[in-house]
Chain A
């Protein structure tokens, strides 16, 4: 005897049987969303969702986006001559003078004289973070206020405010060879 019912493969039978209409609707709408999102990856992604605060406080490079001034941290010791003296002592105490010269003129480390045009915050950042060419990351060891004092001292180099300017040599006796 011939079976005249529509032959449906057994897995479809199980699938349809197991799911009800509501589930089917959910699944369909999800499928639609995924389709849209999946297609969108190729064309127009849009910005990722913003969450939390930007990581960097002190930019080294330019800030992307429309021109804007960064709100840089301010040096609490700007114009403070006592801080210049303290900064000088720190400059010697922490051996900055060893690489950059006792008056910042350079050596294995670069010349620091004449940096009045550089913002205090950027100098702070180099001292705190260090550099891949060997400038140590003092921010791992020193408190913030000491770094700001160093910044003040460095900014004074080559200006009238420099606490201990380098003096030209003077000689007082002549030596005879044998």
Chain B
């Protein structure tokens, strides 16, 4: 008996020793540099050369690839080498993955997974996995049946379906490895975001704020899908996973059970704050970063209080889910300003000192620069017309709200900027360490907002507002903004008079920035000057995110989906009226010309040099 005890103790001790060693080895000893990187800029976790195995390519969400065979001097020769049609003419958000000479594509609902063989001419289909989701999810997809992509790790492609299944598929054979349900259609809950895999954890957020769904992030075990923890975005500290390791920077985030006390009665149970955007990860700090959606219902008078933790950026430990810090960007949201946009991690010289930054181009029109170690907001400047707030008090972390722009039940608020579609939607920006610029796909829309009483009936929208959107001031409705992070200003932009820019952005080591327009133009732009060096008209508006990879023979490729849809693009679908500006949650008012310039599509385009 005694010998057995000694054996057990010895094994535990040695396990602990090796675990500690492994943990120590997980932290990089010195900063990573890439060719052409400017002084005072360091990347946190760059894309491994030629591969694209995570939604943003890298953990830091820079969407920067060092590949440079396609560059400013030769991109004018870029041509189409392959076009794939998936037969599903709904919004194609997200991006493909490339791992081991295979390209993986997740389609819009019904969310099939296709694998293409890059080693053979014409990239033939290797296999197709069809999850067969529940058709009733169709009516719950308030942003148009999109899927924002998959992640790869440990031989598995992992993604989520609209009807709340997280599925791991064997990347070689296309056979299902595991499939776990993480939400419930009966509550109006769906899933559209791209899960992120960190160490042995799969992180998935939910959608459905417009249906009064309670927002959350679920962590599943990579090997078998078992749920390890769930962090809600409303409710008591236990549910929200706040404990003694929580050290928020600002006092408005300090206190017990704020996720209950900042709501009337049990309104937090239907409070929204869903997680349908992007997750970033800092391997050195071992923290994940993501934002939560707007509060439900859109009628603010039904939910007095700050409504924590909606419109909030979280920093959490990925293995335990415990919160490290939180910044609520919009307390008592009266406009639908979700905080789910990407959080780009980069180390930069900030006012004379190297700091670990988090860049968040907000839906509320402010470009946030935040210290990602503790959540301190270093800068918040507007990048599009804004009138709901004059600025942010950097001492308190609170916006200086204009009382005349706060919406109320029974009142018809006019000309509030930006609209609830945001100065920027969930389509992601890119950062180039060569230029120090953040390339933001921006909208310029304002809105009229009539808050009305919302009735909660499960599985029906819990909206509480009629909104109508229209172009903002300045004579343009969209622009690709090149934002100088250090100086906090626009250095150039490419404006679109009639349409928002609603595609993701890619920055490359070839000095290029790629993005697409809602009419379907796919463009390569000089990352420094903003000059359009090349463009190609694809078959449908572009709402997806460009990515790049190397093929089996070292050739560089650029890939992009073409298939209009999503929050602003839904208006192009045949079942949306052209005569009602309030349709599609108000987007129809701003997008009335969309049907004239594009139609739904279903394609993946791949480009290369001849």
Asked if B138 lies at the interface with its beta carbon under 8 angstroms from chain A, I say yes
Cα A99 to Cα B461 in complex, Å, equals: 7
Per DSSP, chain B at the interface is loop
The closest CB in chain A to the CB of B145 belongs to: A108
Asked if A135 lies at the interface with its beta carbon under 8 angstroms from chain B, I say yes
A99 touching B583 in the complex, CB below 8 Å, given contacts A105-B577, A106-B576, A169-B470: no
Asked if A171 lies at the interface with its beta carbon under 8 angstroms from chain B, I say yes
B142 to A93, Cβ gap below 8 A?
no
Asked if B38 lies at the interface with its beta carbon under 8 angstroms from chain A, I say no
User: Which listed residue (B459, B576, B580) contacts A103, Cβ 8 A?
Assistant: B580
Interface window among B2-10, B384-392, B533-541 = B384-392
B473 to A175, Cβ gap below 8 A?
yes
A136 to B585, Cβ gap below 8 A?
no
Contact string, B440-476, partner A, CB cutoff 8 A, digits 1/0? 0000001010001001010111110010101011100
B463 to A175, Cβ gap below 8 A?
no
Cα A108 to Cα B576 in complex, Å, equals: 9
Cα A111 to Cα B448 in complex, Å, equals: 21
- A90 → B minimal CB distance (Å): 11
Asked if A62 lies at the interface with its beta carbon under 8 angstroms from chain B, I say no
- Size bracket, chain B contacts: 35 or more
| Chain A residues, Cβ within 8 Å of B381 | 178
A95 touching B382 in the complex, CB below 8 Å, given contacts A134-B138, A175-B417: no
| Chain B residues, Cβ within 8 Å of A94 | 455, 457, 460
B463 to A169, Cβ gap below 8 A?
no
- A149 → B minimal CB distance (Å): 17
Asked if A166 lies at the interface with its beta carbon under 8 angstroms from chain B, I say yes
| Chain B residues, Cβ within 8 Å of A101 | 577, 580, 582-585, 588
Asked if B205 lies at the interface with its beta carbon under 8 angstroms from chain A, I say no
Asked if A122 lies at the interface with its beta carbon under 8 angstroms from chain B, I say no
Contact string, A89-105, partner B, CB cutoff 8 A, digits 1/0? 00011110111011111
A-B contact count (CB 8 A): 128
A177 to B585, Cβ gap below 8 A?
no
B584 to A107, Cβ gap below 8 A?
yes
B139 to A111, Cβ gap below 8 A?
no
- Size bracket, chain A contacts: 35 or more
User: Which listed residue (A113, A131, A132, A175) contacts B580, Cβ 8 A?
Assistant: A113
B577 to A177, Cβ gap below 8 A?
no
| Chain B residues, Cβ within 8 Å of A108 | 139-142, 144, 461
Query: Most B CB atoms within 10 A — which of A92, A106, A107, A171?
Result: A107
A107 touching B585 in the complex, CB below 8 Å, given contacts A95-B463, A172-B414: yes
- B166 → A minimal CB distance (Å): 21
Contact string, A104-139, partner B, CB cutoff 8 A, digits 1/0? 111111110110000000000000000111111000
| Chain B residues, Cβ within 8 Å of A69 | none
| Chain A residues, Cβ within 8 Å of B415 | 171-173, 175
Asked if A16 lies at the interface with its beta carbon under 8 angstroms from chain B, I say no
User: Which listed residue (B460, B474, B581) contacts A166, Cβ 8 A?
Assistant: B581
B414 to A111, Cβ gap below 8 A?
no
B136 to A134, Cβ gap below 8 A?
yes
Asked if B589 lies at the interface with its beta carbon under 8 angstroms from chain A, I say yes
A133 to B135, Cβ gap below 8 A?
yes
A170 to B414, Cβ gap below 8 A?
yes
Cα A105 to Cα B579 in complex, Å, equals: 7
A133 to B139, Cβ gap below 8 A?
yes
B446 to A175, Cβ gap below 8 A?
yes
The closest CB in chain A to the CB of B461 belongs to: A98
- A95 → B minimal CB distance (Å): 4
Asked if B137 lies at the interface with its beta carbon under 8 angstroms from chain A, I say yes
The closest CB in chain B to the CB of A103 belongs to: B580
Contact string, B413-443, partner A, CB cutoff 8 A, digits 1/0? 0110100000000000000000000000000
- A67 → B minimal CB distance (Å): 31
| Chain A residues, Cβ within 8 Å of B460 | 94-95, 98-99, 136
Cα A15 to Cα B55 in complex, Å, equals: 83
| Chain B residues, Cβ within 8 Å of A105 | 576-577, 579-584, 588
Cα A133 to Cα B466 in complex, Å, equals: 24
Selected A-B contacts with CB under 8 Å, 15 pairs: A93-B455, A98-B461, A98-B462, A99-B460, A105-B581, A109-B139, A111-B575, A111-B583, A113-B580, A132-B136, A134-B135, A134-B136, A136-B459, A166-B581, A176-B473
Q: Which chain B residues have a beta carbon within 8 Å of chain A's beta carbons?
A: 135-142, 144, 210, 381-382, 384-387, 414-415, 417, 446, 448, 452, 455, 457, 459-463, 466, 468, 470, 472-474, 570, 575-577, 579-585, 588-589
Which 9 residue pairs are nearest across A and B when measured between Cβ atoms?
A98-B461, A134-B139, A105-B580, A105-B583, A105-B577, A95-B460, A110-B575, A133-B138, A106-B576
Q: Which chain A residues have a beta carbon within 8 Å of chain B's beta carbons?
A: 92-95, 97-99, 101-111, 113-114, 131-136, 158, 166, 168-178
Task: A94-B460, A101-B580, A106-B577 are known; give 9 further A-B pairs, CB within 8 A.
Answer: A98-B460, A99-B461, A105-B577, A105-B582, A105-B588, A106-B580, A107-B142, A108-B139, A136-B460
